[in-house]
Amino acid sequence: MVIHHDEALLMLQKLAALPSVPNREVDLHRQAVHLSLRSGFDELLSLQMLRDITPFPHQVRTVERVLRRMRGRALLCDEVGLGKTIEAGIVLTEYMLRGLVKRALILTPPSLVDQWKEEVTRKLGLDFVCYDDVRFRAAENPWNAFEHIIASIDTAKREPHRNEILDTEFDIVIVDEAHHLKNKSTLAWKFVNQLKKKYILLLTATPIENDMSELFNLITLLRPGQLLTEAEYKRKYVDKKDPLQPKNVAELKQLVQNVMIRNRRSTTGVIQSTRTADTLVIPPLSEERRFYEALSRFVKSQLQSDTAVPLRRATSRYMELSTPASSQQRKFHPFVLKNLLRQAGSSIACTLPTLAKWVPADRNNEVLRSELWMSESYPAGTLPGVNVDTIQELIELGKAVRDTGKLAALLKLLQNTSDQTVVFTGFVETQSVIAEFLQREGIDVVNFHGGMSRAQKEQAINDFRDGTKVLISTESGGEGRNLQFCHRMVNFDIPWNPMKIEQRIGRIHRIGQEHEVNIYNLASQGTMEEHILRILDAKVNLFQLVVGELDMILGSLDEKREFDEILMDIWVRAKDESELAREVDAFGEELLAAKTHYQKVRDVDDRLLSELIMSE
């Protein structure tokens, strides 16, 4: 290599004589050069980065249109179950890969925060922090400290968070269930409108409920002035006699299609197969009944005691873990009690490890203190509010149970068919019980759970695909796994969160399923699971709903609490079984009303949007 020292020195002197350039112009030039080296949106870079999913053609077309024509400001109005979350996630990933998005804020109803976290982490490989994570709450001005945030809009729109968020600049904001922003006089609409953002995606299957002004309000969040002023919009495009009837449709359609996309099931062919469901309520054996009744009395007595933390407060996303002022006012942890009742509905074997923790040899056990009690410490050798002898009696009752009615019912279901079957349970302890029982009966099984390595999971799926009759899967094990080569499933236990029931069904009833899907639900008589199935099946007809519709129905409830919190409150308050049945039925009527309301809104949107938007 030849170095011309004199020429290089002369070049440096010339460069030094040039006028200085502001740092901002240097940064802009660097970004321009950086972007010029990347391909345009004709090629989606993000598709190679996705994990465990292959986007459907309608999703890819939607992403391309949002990026190329709508410039990152869009109202995604796909019918329920067509994957708006994935579409928004791919848009987000595309912008991040190109360096166009650094700071991102995802706003959802409280019940969808965890679901969004799981989606962006597992499917998109993105690192987001939730607003109620310990590290987020411990940070100073966390809304500015973290670049990728998922938050409940109910929390974000209120102080002390509101002003901190409004002071922060975001490159992209994604709002799920955006129909909650249809009224511009609400705090939520005003908050989103004031956010500093470059791109914004609004997701809803039902943008219009009461009148056409709701569509104006949503589109104004995306592009103020796109539909003129509100007065001009109403005068030109809304029938005076009917606020749900548009006029000058061709002209309005042109304006709306610049910011709005709606995919329909009829044009995407997402799922063609049907499904059936049978619920089997199984009388428990005498030993089972004795244990469940004793456990129920214990749990209810603890939750009704003066020292118990109010259930609504303890089961919210912000679970209050404050230390009582006095060691004599320790508060029992309701979450553990509720989980114990869930475990009992799954299998008695599930409850024994939990109960055993309550009578450790070392009564000052750290695990017990952190898992069961709100306080930081208690005198050695004492368990406030708990009679250790009662716990020991429960353990002995549980150990005495040898057979269960649900295991016998499961065996009969499996023996009556040659088809492969997926058996779902929420607990690994129950999974072990089922596997051991079926193997003793000569049935080949393979387990699948979240504690397995990737290689072990792949081997389990391959074994099942190659002919093993039964796959026993937990929720965490089944996440993201497509099992549509099987068309028969059994819910051995029933999740208290109905969205998890829907997720289980979605493992086999999805695109690629060519057969009718058969679902069997098992519940022991007299358990909470029996009541859950009764209202979800009889009132809401859950097992015939399109995937995603249940969330829309639950979102229509006036209640702000979660489904399982409402049921648990009913159970705790009920004086006897007859009162419990009446209160559960009353809640079922609320769900039925919410379903009816959702269906009316859905029909309105189908009619209006079919006129205003062409399907992608």
Q: Is 202 part of a structural domain of the chain?
A: yes
What is the model's pLDDT at position 331?
46
Q: Is 24 part of a structural domain of the chain?
A: no
297 DSSP 8-state letter: H
Distance CA 243, CA 446 (A): 58
pLDDT at 233 over 90: yes
Q: What Å distances lie between residue 167 and 154, 158, 163, CA to CA? A: 18, 14, 6
Asked whether residue 98 falls in the same domain as residue 233, the answer is: yes
Is the link from the previous residue into 160 a cis peptide, with omega within 30 of 0? Answer: yes
Mean pLDDT of the chain, nearest integer:
83
Asked whether residue 559 falls in the same domain as residue 595, the answer is: yes
Asked whether residue 199 falls in the same domain as residue 211, the answer is: yes
238, 268, 298 - which closes a domain? 268
pLDDT at 388 over 90: no
* Number of C-beta neighbours around residue 489 at 10 A: 25
- Written as six digits, the tokens of 70 are 């709508």
Distance CA 380, CA 114 (A): 37
- Written as six digits, the tokens of 167 are 């002071």
- Written as six digits, the tokens of 530 are 């029996």
Q: Is 331 part of a structural domain of the chain?
A: yes
Is 301 in a helix, a strand, or coil?
Answer: helix
Alpha helix ranges (H) inside 223-319: 230-237, 249-256, 265-268, 286-304, 311-314
State CA 62 to chain mean position distance. 22
Asked whether residue 56 falls in the same domain as residue 85, the answer is: yes
Cβ neighbours of residue 233 closer than 8 Å, sequence gap 6 or more: 213, 216, 227
* Domains in the chain, number: 3
State CA 444 to chain mean position distance. 33
Q: Is 109 part of a structural domain of the chain?
A: yes
Average pLDDT, integer, range 14-29: 68
The lowest-confidence range among 251-265, 362-376, 473-487 is 362-376
Q: What Å distances lie between residue 287 and 258, 346, 405, CA to CA? A: 65, 15, 11
Asked whether residue 49 falls in the same domain as residue 176, the answer is: yes
> 186: closest CA among 161, 218, 141?
218
State CA 183 to chain mean position distance. 25
Give the percent of the chain with pLDDT over 90.
Answer: 47
Could you report the per-residue pLDDT of 276-321, keeping only the tens digit for each?
Answer: 889 999 999 999 999 999 999 999 888 887 444 444 444 433 333 3
Asked whether residue 315 falls in the same domain as residue 258, the answer is: no
**Domain with 114 in it: what CATH number?**
3.40.50.10810
Task: Between 597 and 33, name the one with better pLDDT.
Answer: 597
Asked whether residue 498 falls in the same domain as residue 564, the answer is: yes
Asked whether residue 62 falls in the same domain as residue 123, the answer is: yes
Provide the total of helices (H) and of strands (E) in the chain, helices listed first: 29, 13
C-alpha distance across the termini of the chain, in Å: 58
Asked whether residue 322 falls in the same domain as residue 262, the answer is: no
Task: Between 268 and 131, name the one with better pLDDT.
Answer: 131
Asked whether residue 137 falls in the same domain as residue 222, the answer is: yes
What is the model's pLDDT at position 497?
85
Q: How do the residues of the chain divide into helix, strand and coil, expressed in percent and rounded to 5? A: 50, 10, 35
Could you report the per-residue pLDDT of 28-75, keeping only the tens digit for each?
Answer: 556 555 554 455 687 888 888 887 778 889 999 999 999 999 999 999
Please name every residue paired with 196 in a beta bridge, in sequence order, or none if there are none.
169
Domain that holds residue 541: 403-612
Q: Is 280 part of a structural domain of the chain?
A: no
The lowest-confidence range among 222-231, 418-427, 568-577, 605-614 is 605-614
Q: Is 12 part of a structural domain of the chain?
A: no
pLDDT band of residue 165 (cuts 50, 70, 90) is: very high
User: Position 46: which residue type?
Assistant: S
Task: Between 332 and 53, name the one with better pLDDT.
Answer: 53
Q: At what angle do helices 249-256 and 577-612 cross, to 10 degrees?
A: 110
Could you report the per-residue pLDDT of 476-520, keeping only the tens digit for each?
Answer: 655 556 677 899 999 999 998 887 888 788 778 776 677 889 999
β-sheet with 488-491: strand ranges across: 275-282, 517-524, 488-491, 421-425, 470-474, 445-448
Handedness of CA 220, 225, 226, 227 (dihedral sign): positive
55 DSSP 8-state letter: -
- Judged on CB neighbours under 10 Å (0-12, 13-18, 19+), 481 is middle
**Domain with 513 in it: what CATH number?**
3.40.50.300
Asked whether residue 475 falls in the same domain as residue 499, the answer is: yes
Task: Between 294 and 15, name the one with better pLDDT.
Answer: 294
Cβ neighbours of residue 354 closer than 8 Å, sequence gap 6 or more: 336, 339, 340, 343
Distance CA 220, CA 423 (A): 48
pLDDT at 330 over 60: no
373 DSSP 8-state letter: B
- Judged on CB neighbours under 10 Å (0-12, 13-18, 19+), 52 is exposed
Q: Is 2 part of a structural domain of the chain?
A: no
Distance CA 322, CA 314 (A): 11
Could you report the per-residue pLDDT of 199-211, keeping only the tens digit for each?
Answer: 999 999 889 988 9
pLDDT at 616 over 60: no
What is the model's pLDDT at position 373?
41
pLDDT at 391 over 80: yes
Average pLDDT, integer, range 81-110: 93
Asked whether residue 218 falls in the same domain as residue 342, the answer is: no
268, 295, 322 - which closes a domain? 268
> What does the H/E/C string look like for 552-572?
HHHHCCCCCCCHHHHHHHHHH
345, 369, 399 - which closes a domain? 399
Distance CA 49, CA 55 (A): 12
- Written as six digits, the tokens of 245 are 């009837």
What is the model's pLDDT at position 547?
66
User: Position 196: which residue type?
Assistant: K
pTM: 0.70
pLDDT at 559 over 70: no
Cβ atoms of residues 46 and 94 within 8 Å:
yes
